[in-house]
C-alpha cells in the first residue's frame, strides 16, 4: 500500500553568521547563546502549527557535507508525520520505560557515569 499525503510542513534555513568562514562552536558564548535561542524560537513557532508532528534541526558545514550555501548555516524542518525510523525508536524508548520505570536516556546517563566516561554513538 502506498500512503501519500499532500506536501506540507515548514523548512527554514538559519544563516549563522555574516562571515563565510565562521564556525559556531568556535565563536563566543554570546554568539552561541543567540544561535541556540534562535533555533529554540523557530522550532517553538513551527510547533504552534497543529499539523506539525515532528521537528528536526540539522547543520551543514562546508561543501564536503553537501552544503549549497557558503555562509555557515543550519536548517529546521517541521513535518506533519513522524518519520518511520524516529517512530520506531520512540516505540523502543516507550517500551523500555514501561518495562523498567526509567527512560532509556536516564539509564544511558547512569551507565556512562558508572563507567566514568561518555559513550557517543
Backbone angles phi, psi at 54, to 5 degrees: -150, 135
Give me the catalytic one of 10, 11, 20, 73. 73
CA 47/CA 55 separation, integer angstroms: 8
Q: Is 100 a catalytic residue?
A: no
Any idea which residues carry the catalytic annotation? 73
Amino acid at each position: 500500500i502506498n500512503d501519500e499525503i499532500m506536501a506540507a510542513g515548514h523548512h527554514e534555513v538559519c544563516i549563522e553568521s555574516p562571515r563565510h568562514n565562521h564556525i559556531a562552536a568556535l565563536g563566543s558564548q554570546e554568539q552561541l547563546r543567540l544561535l541556540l535561542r534562535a533555533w529554540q524560537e523557530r522550532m517553538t513557532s513551527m510547533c504552534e502549527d497543529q499539523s506539525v508532528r515532528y521537528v528536526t534541526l540539522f547543520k551543514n558545514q562546508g561543501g564536503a557535507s553537501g552544503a549549497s550555501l557558503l555562509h555557515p548555516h543550519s536548517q529546521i524542518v517541521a513535518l506533519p508525520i513522524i518519520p518511520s525510523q524516529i517512530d520506531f525508536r520512540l516505540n523502543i524508548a516507550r517500551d523500555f520505560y514501561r518495562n523498567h520505570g526509567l527512560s532509556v536516556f536516564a539509564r544511558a546517563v547512569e551507565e556512562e557515569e558508572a563507567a566514568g566516561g561518555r559513550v557517543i554513538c
